[in-house]
Amino acid sequence: MFKVIRLAAAGVLASTAAIAGSVAYVAPVVPEVIEEEGSMGGSGLWLIPLIAIALILLATSSDDPSNY
């Protein structure tokens, strides 16, 4: 019975040391955020002129195969 209690106590002490983490304090580093001004960014606004050009090209192209 005492052997089981000793093993349990040793397991508890070993696990608390393993969970404790590092001794040294590491200060968190705040990343710098660089914002580009004047660009359309990643919002997908660059697709609108691309789609407009594609629609104009499709509307002005002829479907007559004899022109080739």
**What are the tens digits of pLDDT across the range 16-57?**
655 656 667 778 888 888 776 665 556 677 788 889 999 988
Could you give phi then psi for residue 47, rounded to 5 degrees? Answer: -75, -30
Confidence label for 14 from pLDDT (cuts 50, 70 and 90): confident
Query: CA–CA separation, 16 vs 21, rounded Å?
Result: 9
What are the residue ranges of helices labelled H in 1-68?
2-19, 47-60
Write the pLDDT tens digit of every residue in 29-39: 888 887 766 65
Query: What single-letter DSSP state applies at residue 23?
Result: S
